[in-house]
Amino acid sequence: MLTSLLPEFSIRRDEDRCIQCRVCERQCSFGVFSYDAGDNVMVHREDLCVGCQRCAVLCPTNALTIMYNEYSYKPNWNWTREYIQDLKKQAETGGVLLTGMGDDKPHKIYWDHILINASQVTNPSIDPLREPMELRTFLGRKPDRLEVKDGVLSPNEYPNVVLSTPIMFAAMSYGAISYNCFYSLARAAFESGTLFNTGEGGWPREMRKFGSATIVQCASGRFGIDLEYLNDAAAVEIKIGQGAKPGIGGHLPGEKVSEHISQTRMIPAGSDAISPAPHHDIYSIEDLQMLIHALKEATDYQKPIFVKISAVHNAPAIASGMVRAGADIIVIDGLRGGTGAAPKILRDNVGIPIELALAAVDTRLRKEGIRNRASLVIAGGLRNSSDVFKAIALGADAVYIGTPALIAMGCTMCQKCYTGKCAWGLTTQDPYLTKRVNPEIATTCLKNLLRAWSLELKELLGCGGINSIESLRGNRLQLRGIGLEGWELETLGIRGAGQ
Amino acid sequence: MRAVARKHVPPGRVPSTVTIDARGVHHKDLNRRIRSLALEGHDRFEVLNVFGQRYFGTNLWGIENRRDIRITVHGTPGSDLGAFMDGPSIEVKGNVQDATGNTMNAGLIVVHGNAGDVLGYGMRGGEIYVRGNVGYRVGIHMKEYRDLIPTIVIGGTTQDFFGEYMAGGRIIVLNRFIPEIPDSRQSYFIGTGMHGGSIFIRGQVDPDRMGAEVGVEEPDREESRLIRHFVDGYCRHFNIGKEEARTLREARFCKLHAKSQRPYGKLYAY
C-alpha cells in the first residue's frame, strides 16, 4: 500500500562545495547518504534523515544544510503532521510508538512564567567575584532540633552526602548510554564534587574508584545489585518512577545487551533486560519502608537512601508517605523528564509539570512538619541555571540534570535514542559510533557545564543579596509569576509580578 | 540482649557457637550484634525468641568467612530475611514473612514452616528451601548469570503470579500437601512475562493457569537429574521419611520455560 510519510527533514547539498569525500556517508548511522561512483556525486534519502546534524557539522566544506521539512499536508490545528504520520506508522505496524528524550509538546513551561527578584537600595546586592558565595549542599535527613553541648554543635546523626554545587547528573544507565558517556559522567562528577547516578544498569568494577561521587540505583529489575555495589557507592536510590514514563518499567532490548553490558547487569548476553512496571515487593508505603530499611541495613545505616517517583497528580501525599517510610532524599521527576526509550503516548501525556509538583510537595512537607526529615531533589526538563535557581527557591535542595549533560557531550535532541544508532555516539553500543565520544573531552565539557551554571547561580544569588544557597531554599519571596492564573500562583506559592 | 558462648572456650580462641536471646530486641541492634560477632570470627549463631525482626543476614558483607556463617533462627522472623544476602546460611525453625531472599546473591535459606509473599524476588544466586507452602508473587524476576544460578525448592503449593518476569534460575514445586494433582489450589498467572529460567512442577499444570509467554515440556535427562538432586536436598533438610522421599524422587514433573528470551520484541512500531 502506498503511504505518504513526508520526510521530516530536507537535505540541501551545495554541489559546488561538495568534494565527494564521503564523510557524510561515514558519519550518518541512519544510512541517509551513499556515493554514486558513476556520476561522481553523493546521493541521499531524505526519508531516513533524523535531523541530528552530525553530517552538517562534520562536512569539511560546509556543503550540507539539514532543515526541518517545510512541506506539509494541508495545515490543520487538530490534525498536525505529527499526528497524521504517527497514525500512519501505527496502521503499518500495529505497534506502540517509541521515542527518546523528554516531552516536546507545548505544555506550559512554568519556569518561563517565573521571574527573579534583585536587591535595590534597601538590601545591597553582592558581587560574587569579591565576596564568598556558598553553593555547598548537604543532602539527607536533618535533625529535628539543633543541640549545643558545651558550646559545640552536636553532629547530625543521619548520613548526608555533600555536593559542591546543587546540581547532580541524573540516572542514565550503561546500556541506555555508551560506556564513554557513562564514564565521563562519573569522572566529571567526581572531579567537580557532585554526584552522578548509575541508573539501573549495574556499575562496572573499574569505575568503583569514583564511588564517593556515585549514587547507585535499585529499581524493579534489580540488575547488577549486590552488597558490594551498594556499599561502594555514596548513596542508594530506589527508583519507583521516571518522569518520561510514569507507571511503566524499562526494557533494554536483547540486541543492546552486549558482553560487557551483560557483565555489569549480570544477565546473559542477548536476553532482554526487563524492569517490571512496579517493584513487586512494593505495593504500599509500608512495603517501601521495608525496602528502604533493607538497603539501610545492607549499608549499615551509613548511606542516605533516595527514593525517586514521577511527578503525578497526588505526588504530595505520596511524598509524605515516602518521608514517613524513611526516605532520606525524595526525588520528583517531572513531565518533561528525558528517557532513552519510552512509549510516546506516555511521555507526552502522563504526569504533571515539575514546577507545580515541586511547590506542592515542599508545601505539604512543611505543613506536616517533616520537611527536615528528607531533602528534596527534582528533575525533568531543567534547561539552564535560572531554572535551577527557581527550583531551589520553590523548595528543592538540589536538582538532577540528564538532557543538559547529554547536550554537553554532543546531543542535538533528535529523539532517536531508542534506535541505538545515535550518530553522536551517546545512546548506542555500536563500537564504531561510541568512539565518537572522547571521554577526556566529554569530561571537560561536563565540568565546564557545572562550572558555568554554578557561576551563574552565584551571580543570581548575589543580585538578590543572598550569599548562600541555604538562604535561597524555599525562599519563594524571591520569585514572582507572570502570565499565570490564580490557581497556578497559589500552587506555586508565589505572588504575581507587581504584587 | 545477652550473648552467651555455649561452650567453654580456652582464652584466645574464638568460641564457635553464640546464642543470642532476641526477645524485645530491635532488628537494627540484633543484626549489628551478629555482624560485630561475625567480624570477630564467630560463625555459628543460635538466635532464640525471634519475633518479627527483619533483615537477617543482610548486613553480613565484607566478612571474609561469610560463606561459613550459619544462623539458626528460632521463632518467627520478620520480612526481608536474607535480603541482598551474599553467602551465609540461615535456618528458620518456624515460618517466614514476606520478601525472604529478596535480591539474594549467594547463601542458603532453609525454612521449616511456610513462607509469605514475594519469596526470592530478583534473586540471583543461592538456594532457598521451604518445607511448606508459599504465598503470592514468588520468584518474580529471578535471574542467572554464568555460575550464579538461584534455586528455590517449595514443598507445598504456590499462590498467584508465581515466577512472573522470570529471567533465570530454577524453581521446583513439590505440591506435597495436596492429595491429587492437578488441584484447584494451584496458582493462576504462572510465569507471565517469563523470559528465562525453568520452573519444575510435580504433576501437571492447566494451560489456563499460565502466562502466554510460557511453554511446557518434559524435563530432559539432565533436568531430571537436577530435580532429583534438589528433591534429595529437600528431604535431607526436612528429614522426610524414606518412603515419601522415594515417591517424590520418582514423581513426574513438568517443566515450564520461556518460549522466547525476548517476550516483548514485537510490541513496537519502528
| pLDDT tens per residue, range A91-142 | 988 999 999 999 999 999 999 999 999 999 998 999 999 999 999 999 999 9
Q: For B91-139, what is each residue's pLDDT tens digit?
A: 999 999 999 999 999 999 999 999 999 999 999 999 999 999 999 999 9
CB contact under 8 A, B121 and A230: no
Considering the domain architecture, whether residues B72 and B99 belong to the same structural domain is answered as no
Total domains in the fold of chain B? 2
Considering the domain architecture, whether residues A318 and A403 belong to the same structural domain is answered as yes
CA distance A11 to A32: 10
Is the ipTM of this structure higher than 0.95?
Answer: no
B270 in any annotated domain: no
What backbone torsions phi and psi does residue A236 show, to the nearest 5 degrees? -120, 135
Hey, what long-range contacts does A57-60 have (CB within 8 A, 24 or more apart)? A58/A23, A58/A24, A58/A27, A59/A23, A59/A24, A60/A19, A60/A21, A60/A23
Residue A122 makes CB contacts below 8 A (sequence gap 6+) with none
pLDDT grade, residue A441 (50/70/90)? Answer: very high
A231 in any annotated domain: yes
B188 in any annotated domain: yes
CB contact under 8 A, A281 and B145: no
Considering the domain architecture, whether residues B64 and B184 belong to the same structural domain is answered as no
CA distance B200 to B255: 5
Considering the domain architecture, whether residues B151 and B38 belong to the same structural domain is answered as no
Residue A442 near residue A409, CB atoms below 8 Å: yes
* pLDDT given for residue B46 in this prediction: 97
pLDDT of residue A253 exceeding 80, the answer is no
Calculate the alpha carbon distances from A493 to A269, A357, B34 in Å: 50, 12, 50
Considering the domain architecture, whether residues A79 and A212 belong to the same structural domain is answered as no
Interface check A92 vs B, CB under 8 A? yes
C-alpha cell at B82: 536474607
* pLDDT given for residue B7 in this prediction: 45
B87 in any annotated domain: no
CA distance A118 to A464: 4
Considering the domain architecture, whether residues B187 and B115 belong to the same structural domain is answered as yes
Mutate to test the interface with B, among A82, A87, A222 (most CBs of B within 10 A): A222
What secondary structure does DSSP assign to chain B, as a single string?
--EEESS---TTS--SEEEEE-TT--HHHHHHHHHHHHHTT--EEEEEEEES---TTTT--S-TTGGG-EEEEEEE--S-TTTT-EEEEEEEES-B-TTTTTT--EEEEEESS-B-SSTTTT--SSEEEESS---SSTTTT---BTTB--EEEESS---SSTTTT-EEEEEEE--TT-SSSS-TTSPSSBTTT--EEEEEEES---GGGB-TTEEEE---HHHHHHHHHHHHHHHHHHT--HHHHHHHHH--EEEEEES-S-TTTTSB--
Q: Which residues partner with A401 through β-bridges? A: A169
* pLDDT given for residue B178 in this prediction: 72
CB contact under 8 A, B193 and A276: yes
Considering the domain architecture, whether residues A229 and A163 belong to the same structural domain is answered as yes
For residue B56, list chain A residues with Cβ-Cβ distance below 8 A.
Answer: none
A122 in any annotated domain: no
Angle of helix A385-394 relative to helix A439-463, nearest 10 degrees, comes to 50
CA distance B200 to B82: 24
* pLDDT given for residue B6 in this prediction: 45
Q: Looking at this protein, which amino acid is placed at residue A52?
A: C
Residue A26 near residue A92, CB atoms below 8 Å: no
CB contact under 8 A, B122 and A225: yes
Residue B134 near residue B119, CB atoms below 8 Å: yes
Considering the domain architecture, whether residues B100 and B222 belong to the same structural domain is answered as yes
B86 in any annotated domain: no
User: Cell 532517536 appears where?
Assistant: A416
Interface check B26 vs A, CB under 8 A? no
Q: For A182-210, what is each residue's pLDDT tens digit?
A: 999 999 999 999 999 999 989 999 999 99
Total domains in the fold of chain A? 2
Nearest C-alpha of chain A: how many angstroms from B58?
Answer: 5
CA distance A17 to A61: 6
Q: Which residues of A101-138 are buried (b: 16+ CB within 10 A; e: fewer)?
A: bbbeeeeeebbebbbebeeeeeeeebebeeeebebebe
The DSSP 8-state label assigned to residue A80 in this structure reads -
Domain with A388 in it: what CATH number?
3.20.20.70
* pLDDT given for residue B184 in this prediction: 47
* pLDDT given for residue A413 in this prediction: 97
pLDDT grade, residue A487 (50/70/90)? Answer: very high
B199 in any annotated domain: yes
Considering the domain architecture, whether residues B100 and B66 belong to the same structural domain is answered as no
Considering the domain architecture, whether residues A83 and A142 belong to the same structural domain is answered as no
CA distance A202 to A175: 9
A100 in any annotated domain: no
Calculate the alpha carbon distances from A137 to A68, A104, A161, A166, A217 in Å: 42, 31, 8, 6, 21
pLDDT per position in chain B (270 positions), as tens?
A: 555 444 444 555 555 799 999 999 999 999 999 999 999 999 999 999 999 999 999 999 999 889 999 999 999 999 999 999 999 999 999 999 999 999 999 999 999 999 999 999 999 999 999 999 999 999 999 999 988 999 999 999 999 999 999 999 999 999 998 765 555 457 899 999 999 999 999 998 888 899 999 999 999 999 999 999 999 999 999 999 999 999 999 999 999 999 887 777 777 876
Q: For A288-329, what is each residue's pLDDT tens digit?
A: 999 999 999 999 999 999 999 999 999 999 999 999 999 999
B210 in any annotated domain: yes
Cis peptide before B182 (omega within 30 of 0): yes
A3 in any annotated domain: no
CB contact under 8 A, B103 and A280: no
For residue A202, list chain B residues with Cβ-Cβ distance below 8 A.
Answer: none
CB contact under 8 A, A297 and B61: no
CB contact under 8 A, B267 and A290: no
**What does the pLDDT average to over A215-230?**
94
Pairing of strands B86-93, B70-76: parallel
Give chain A's mean pLDDT: 95
Considering the domain architecture, whether residues A69 and A208 belong to the same structural domain is answered as no
Range of the domain at B8: 1-77
Residue ranges with strand state E in A229-316: 235-239, 250-252, 273-275, 305-310
Considering the domain architecture, whether residues A161 and A268 belong to the same structural domain is answered as yes
A1 in any annotated domain: no
Q: For A409-419, what is each residue's pLDDT tens digit?
A: 999 999 999 99
- Backbone Cα Rg of chain A: 24
A334 in any annotated domain: yes
Residue B79 near residue B60, CB atoms below 8 Å: no
Q: Which of A42, A68, A95 is the last residue of a domain?
A: A95
SS3 sequence of A308-319: EEECCCCHHHHH
Chain A residue with the nearest C-alpha to that of B31: A297
Q: Which of A95, A124, A158 is the last residue of a domain?
A: A95
Rama region for A142: left / alpha / beta (φ>0; ψ in -120 to 50; rest) = beta
Highest mean pLDDT among A4-8, A258-262, B191-195: B191-195
**What does the pLDDT average to over A58-75?**
91
Considering the domain architecture, whether residues B127 and B249 belong to the same structural domain is answered as yes
* Closest Cβ opposite residue B84 in set A93, A298, A300: A298
* pLDDT given for residue B10 in this prediction: 52
The DSSP 8-state label assigned to residue A174 in this structure reads B
Q: Which of B77, B111, B127 is the last residue of a domain?
A: B77
What secondary structure does DSSP assign to A306-357, as a single string?
EEEEE--TTHHHHHHHHHHTT-SEEEEE-TT---SSEEHHHHTTSS--HHHH
pLDDT grade, residue A3 (50/70/90)? Answer: low
CB contact under 8 A, A300 and B35: yes
A217 in any annotated domain: yes
Considering the domain architecture, whether residues A397 and A329 belong to the same structural domain is answered as yes
* pLDDT given for residue A264 in this prediction: 86
For residue B165, list chain A residues with Cβ-Cβ distance below 8 A.
Answer: 274, 276, 280
Residue A243 near residue A351, CB atoms below 8 Å: yes
CA distance A457 to A388: 8
Residue ranges with strand state E in A8-166: 9-13, 33-36, 41-44, 64-68, 98-99, 114-116, 137-139, 148-149, 152-153, 161-163
Domain with A80 in it: what CATH number?
3.30.70.20
Considering the domain architecture, whether residues B166 and B118 belong to the same structural domain is answered as yes
Q: For B21-36, what is each residue's pLDDT tens digit?
A: 999 999 999 999 999 9
Whole-structure pTM value = 0.94
CA distance A339 to A377: 18
* Closest Cβ opposite residue A274 in set B99, B102, B165: B165
Considering the domain architecture, whether residues B149 and B212 belong to the same structural domain is answered as yes
Q: Looking at this protein, which amino acid is placed at residue A479?
A: L
Range of the domain at A193: 137-496
Considering the domain architecture, whether residues B8 and B116 belong to the same structural domain is answered as no
Pairing of strands B167-173, B151-154: parallel
Considering the domain architecture, whether residues B151 and B195 belong to the same structural domain is answered as yes
* pLDDT given for residue B270 in this prediction: 65
* pLDDT given for residue A217 in this prediction: 96
Considering the domain architecture, whether residues A372 and A245 belong to the same structural domain is answered as yes
Considering the domain architecture, whether residues B41 and B99 belong to the same structural domain is answered as no
Q: Which of B77, B104, B132 is the last residue of a domain?
A: B77
* pLDDT given for residue B5 in this prediction: 45
Considering the domain architecture, whether residues A78 and A176 belong to the same structural domain is answered as no
Closest CA to B77 of B103, B104, B109: B109
Considering the domain architecture, whether residues A82 and A180 belong to the same structural domain is answered as no
